[in-house]
Structure 1
Amino acid sequence: MSDATVPAAPVAPGSGEGRKDGSERWNQTLRDITGGSAMISVLAVLVALVVGAILIAFTNERVQETAGYFFSRPTDLLQAVWDSVAGAYSALFQGAIYNFRASSFLTAIRPLTETLTFATPLIAAGLGVGLAFRVGMFNIGGRGQMLIAAGAAGWVAFAVELPAGIHLIVAVLAGLLGGAIWGGIVGLLKARTGAHEVIVTIMLNFVALYLIQFLLRTPGALQAPGSNNPKTPAMAATAVFPDLFGPRYNLHAGFLTVIAATIFVWWLLSRSNLGFQFRAVGQNPGAARVAGINVKNVYFYAMAISGALVGLAGVNQVLGTLTTGFSSGIDAGIGFDAITVALLGRSKPWGIFAAGILFGAFKAGGFAMQAAEGVPIDIVVVVQALIVLFIAAPPLVRAMFHLPTPGTTKKPRIRKTNEVVAK
């Protein structure tokens, strides 16, 4: 008696097994898309808006009034909730994207230009923070880097006389250099002494703040001549970004600089040798060191470029539509908002660009929502904080929407088969 081995029959093209393999590949691709980081970011925004709607309803006086007689007329409460939420988000949209009540198209699109104006420094600073994230570093020194860049660009803008065009370019370069130096200090200390970048950047934030405040109170430095206020003179007209669509809109050519910065960061991370080193160090510094990458130099270069990008946000604040001088509050909290933008954008250049526009819409529409519906502007801040919360907890979002984890496959079903033995 001998055992006979039966070879497996080849799978013919178009057979059921071939279709099964193709179906499994498609299902795997679909699972990766639905459970991927981009989908998590979108769902995090949606969940935050839902929670924001609940807060809007709870803080509405009409909703509170109708809740008192809910059991006698429940529809009044439901209608009040709908009116409050729909009115608030409608005002948010009209204040950030398109105003349907405007008399002309040119007036109706003004909210969109305001959104892009608010988004301009957020995108620039977000790119800097996101670049540091890709190298495994946490740049929390956006405020200091913005202030130093604003001080350098502002001084060139009002104290140096240059021809039009050249003056603006030199002022922008001065601001980028200031931000790069302030960020490079962090990278240098981390590379040479092992100092933690979070502690160093926080300390440098205070150094930059008090340094700028001192210069704003020092005649001959940043303080306006003949003034006792801690404020600079007005920027020269030759050093201010020109308006993109005329004086009726606040959007200026600084928005074009952040588009160029986004393209640069994309190229740097995806197409350059230095970007490959950045990504390698961010994934595993030890393995990168073994592969021959100078990790210390990477830390320095990354923080210098990150500081320059964040400094571009300060440059846009000073050389934008601002012509009356600036004070130490020029950073406007953008350095910290940039962390949220970088997280929402998953530290990817075009993701950060989209996240910056979203947060610019929140800023532009939040004021309109408060003015039109009386909704506290703090609701927008809460929504932004909730976005960070959900972004930082992807398993929570996946559990809420029953999303798969990307890269995983379903366990194959175990089928009972009869073992055929040829005797």
Structure 2
Amino acid sequence: MSDGIRKMFTPSSLLVPLVSILLGLLVGAIAMLAGGYNPIVAYLSLFDRIFGSPYHMGEAIRAITPLLFTGIAVAFAFRTGLFNIGVEGQFIMGMTGATIIGVTLKLPWYVHGPLAVVVGALLGGLWAGLVGYLKARRGVNEVISSIMLNWIALYLANYIVSRYLMEPGQQKSKPIHESALMSIDWLVELMDRARMHWGTVVGLICIAIFYVLLWRTKQGYELRAVGLNPDAALYAGMNVNRTILKSMFYSGVFAGLGGVFEVLGVFGNQTIMASYWGYGFDGIAVALLGGNSPIGVLLAAMLFGGLTYGSAGMSFGAGVPSEIVRIVIGSVIFFVAAHGIVLLLVKPLMSGRARADKRRGGNAA
């Protein structure tokens, strides 16, 4: 295991997110008490919603899956020194690319599904690559350009669906042909008709790709080096502009895959969207909580997806509004972002552990 990966799993790096989660749950409990709700019943209802039946477990996994992709997309860009705030737009373009292939073509299943996945992923990558090009060639700040491209993606996707793919009399596209759908039929039956699909498997593979690409390849070293210090990387002979473009493209591919599997694995069509899905922006929180590390993103996606899906259980089981869950998530993000506050709580624990280790070492000697 490399030194960079070891640093991700030091006790301090693990304690800060853990304490942030606990503080977020505590703030949520205080908000519930202020509203006259029982936080114990609410949290028990949340867990029952997630783990109470095979169907709910499957649907919770389904809710976690898109956050895996958007979390990886944001974390990958962060690791290479870029702020990809346009993951939402890249997610939408991935959906649109997959829908175009899924609706307009009729092909054998072993060609149709993979083709839709590849086209959607490439479209998401190219959409992010445009941000990288503007950054590398024109010096345009990627935060501004990616935010603007979010809106362009939203309205462009709506135009494509309404103009070329619309189901007559509906506010959605025609159904995607079954040969392009990505559901796992035997797992759907096993999980009591929960919407299980290949996106979950691909998401876990992407977690591994994220690690291998950045920490086990020469290309990954260059990506991280440019992110840490572009001037030093340029002096060392690296092509900084090409690396920026490459980084944004890879990030967009991850985001586009998230959109691909939402339409191919969950809905089977694309609707006319009045607003963003929100997965891209939640991906920023997932990457932040996960410390931009592969395993961290996986765990953070499980937390955020579980809280989001379980919020309905809090509503039905304890009468708590679903907005309370957003308070919990917002509080977790706040404490992770304001890690100085958390470190004030964590530091005494770390100091006590260091002293105990030192005493054990002295006794052993």
- TM-score of the superposed pair, with normalisation by structure 2: 0.89
Superposition deviation, residue 242 in structure 1: 2.2
Instruction: Report the identity percentage.
Output: 34
Deviations 1:159-206 (A, max 9, x none): 111101211100000100110110000001100011000000011111
The separation in 1 between residues aligned to 2:135 and 2:196, in whole angstroms, is 38
Query: CA-to-partner distance for each residue in 1:60-97, whole Å, 9 max, x for gaps?
Result: 26xxxxxxxxxxxxxxxxxxxxxx1110000111112x
- 1:228 offset after TM fit, Å? 4.4
Correspondence list, 1:23-42, <5 A = 33-34=10-11, 36-42=12-18
Q: Does 1:307 align with 2:252?
A: yes
Structure 2 residue aligned with 1:45: 21
Q: Which amino acid aligns with 1:133?
A: F
Paired letter, 1:349: P
Q: Does 1:57 align with 2:2?
A: no
Contact 2:162 2:173 in 1 (8 A): no
Deviation at 1:296, TM superposition (A): 0.8
CA RMSD of aligned residues (A): 2.0
Are positions 1:264 and 2:191 aligned together?
no
Unaligned ranges ≥5, structure 1: 1-28, 62-83, 100-107, 411-423
The structure with the largest helix share of the pair is: 2
Aligned to 1:376: 321
* Alpha-carbon distance, 1:229 to partner: 3.9
Q: Does 1:350 align with 2:295?
A: yes
Tell me, which stretches of 5 or more residues in structure 2 are unaligned? 1-5, 356-365
Listed as ranges, the matches of 1:176-215 within 5 Å are 176-215=121-160
Tell whether the 8 Å contact from 1:147 to 1:328 is kept in structure 2 after alignment: no
Measure the CA separation in 2 of the matches of 1:324 and 1:273: 40
Matches within 5 A, 1:93-132: 93-96=47-50, 98-99=51-52, 108-132=53-77
Q: 2 CA distance for matches of 1:297 and 1:190?
A: 11
Match of 2:362 in 1: none
Q: Compared with structure 1, are the counterparts of its residues 308 and 204 closer, same or farther at alpha carbon in structure 2 (3 Å cutoff)? A: same
More displaced 10-residue stretch of structure 1: 275-284 or 187-196: 275-284
| Cα shift at 1:268 | 0.4
User: What corresponds to 2:88 in structure 1?
Assistant: 143
- The one-letter code of the counterpart of 1:238 is S
User: What is the rounded CA distance, in whole Å, between the counterparts of 2:78 and 2:332 in structure 1?
Assistant: 18
For residue 165 of structure 1, give the secondary structure of its aligned residue in structure 2.
Answer: helix
Query: Hey, what's the Cα distance between the residues in 2 that align with 1:58 and 1:341?
Result: 28
8 A contact 1:235–1:322 mirrored in 2: no
Amino acid across the alignment from 1:91? S
What is the CA-CA distance between 1:322 and the residue it aligns to?
1.3
Q: Considering Cα pairs closer than 8 Å and 6+ residues apart, tell me whether 1 or 2 has the greater RCO.
A: 2
Please state if 1:90 is matched with 2:44: yes
1:65 matched residue in structure 2? none
Match for residue 342 of structure 2? 397
Q: Distance in 1 between matches of 2:140 and 2:348?
A: 40
**Offset at 1:324?**
4.8
CA contact (8 A) 1:146 1:331 kept: no
Give the Cα–Cα distance (whole angstroms) in 2 for the partners of residues 33 and 158 of structure 1: 48
- TM-score normalised to the size of structure 1? 0.77
Provide the residue aligned with 2:166 in structure 1: 223
Alpha-carbon distance in structure 2 between the residues aligned to 1:228 and 1:110: 32
Matches within 5 A, 1:72-87: 84-87=38-41
Shift of 1:404: 7.1
**Structure-2 residue corresponding to 1:238:** 179
Deviation at 1:281, TM superposition (A): 1.5
Contact between 1:217 and 1:228, CA under 8 Å: does it hold in 2? no
* Counterpart among 174, 185, 191 of residue 119 in structure 2: 174
CA distance 1:215–1:324, change in 2 (3 Å): closer
Contact 2:199 2:258 in 1 (8 A): no
